[in-house]
Amino acid sequence: MKLLFVCLGNICRSPMAETIFKQKLHDRHLSAEVDSAGLENYHEGDQADSRMRAHAERRGYHITHISRPIIRDDFYHFDLIFGMDAQNMRALKSRAPQGTEYKLRLITNYCEQFPLADSVPDPYYGGESGFELVIDLLEDACEGIITRELL
């Protein structure tokens, strides 16, 4: 199984999702190919946002991903491609080559502890609590993905 997490800049939400998912795989002795990418290339080559990395470290996660933009080949290579909000999903749908749209998923559809969540809100222009919410929602969604797609 090959999974790709996508957000706008690939410096906050999707590298956090990638890191949480890899940690969960490691904890359960499962394996899968996991990566993340951005819909925009403004941050290409950058480490994850320092605030996201700090919140991650406090919760036991170490983000090492370097931002990269999504490319056409990703839509063919990966089995499942997860967007963080409705805007991401619109962009993914418009860029997906014909016949690859079936791989696209809104990540919050996998949440179980937050059943009413319909997006992982962009924390970039908000406060500290936004980064904690990103981690809470992504831990929940990643658990759901493992249960529903990998087990």
Enzyme catalytic residues: 7, 13, 122
Helix (H, G, I), strand (E, B) or coil at 82: strand
Rounded Cα–Cα distance for residues 27 and 36 (Å): 20
Longest C-alpha distance within the chain, in Å?
42
Least distance from ligand 4NP to the Cβ atom of residue 137, Å: 12
Residue 102 vs 139, nearer CB to ligand 4NP: 139
Which residue, 91 or 150, has its beta carbon nearer to ligand 4NP?
91
**Rounded to the nearest whole angstrom, what is the least distance from the CB of residue 58 to ligand 4NP in the complex?**
18
Nearest of 116, 104, 103, 113 to residue 147 by alpha carbon? 113
Kindly list the residues in this chain that would bind ligand 4NP in the complex (CB under 6 A). Answer: 7-13, 42, 122, 124
CB nearer to ligand 4NP: pick between 42 and 76? 42
Q: Which residue is nearest to ligand 4NP (CB)?
A: 9
Residue 84 · residue 119 · CB < 8 Å: yes
State how beta strands 33-38 and 104-106 pair. Answer: unpaired
Q: CB of residue 83 vs ligand 4NP: minimum separation in angstroms?
A: 10
